Homo-oligomer: A and B are copies of this chain.
Amino acid sequence: MSRWAPDARERLETAALDLFAENGYEETTVAQIAERAGLNRATFFRHFADKREVLFGGEDVLAGLFADGIRTAAPDATLTGCLQAAFAAAGAVMTPQQRVKAAQRVRVVAANTELQERGLLKHARIARSISAALRERGADELTARLGAEVGMLAFAVAVERWMKARNDEPFPVHAAAALSDLQVRVAELGSRSGLSA
């Protein structure tokens, strides 16, 4: 087994997702993942703190990209503009290859409460990263928290649509559409028209 593999992280991810799908998440060991990837356990632990992190390591990368996108958005960007900048930055890692993995990941997580809990913790951390970046731009605390929640919902909707799409439309296109769909509905929060049919 080669000790230095430039694509080790990706090979470990692919091996893990395949094994989780074949044998179940609980039943798969780190040793098996490393073996399938043609690497050793030490290499696994250089890339991931534990087995759960294979599924959620990308979330930390996303938190960083979102924050960078918001920080480098045009000085006169609106709240929505900042969220669009965050999604554009995230586009860098939302590749067609990741699109296939995302669908595998969703199936594994849906079958395990413990994994759902870890996923929610990561989700909450990304939201905090967005609200912190919005605060840095001068948003007050409530605006920053609202922006983070609406941004995370737009992101979740965009990921769902991206996974289901039959074409390779780039992720930022889905994200911009989801955000715009939510903006239309945001208006209803203050509208006077009733909700019932």
Contact = CB atoms under 8 A, between A and B. Distances in A.
A75 B196 contact: yes
Contacts of A121: 113, 116-117, 120
Contacts of A193: 78
**Chain A: number of interface residues, binned into ranges:** 35 or more
A15 interface: no
Nearest to A146: B185
Interface stretch (A42-50, A60-68, A93-101, A136-144): A136-144
A27 interface: no
Interface string A99-131: 000000000000001001110110110000000
Contact of A191 (B78, B138, B152): B78
A37 interface: no
Interface of A: 75-82, 113, 116-118, 120-121, 123-124, 134, 137-140, 142-143, 145-147, 149-150, 152-153, 157, 181-183, 185-197
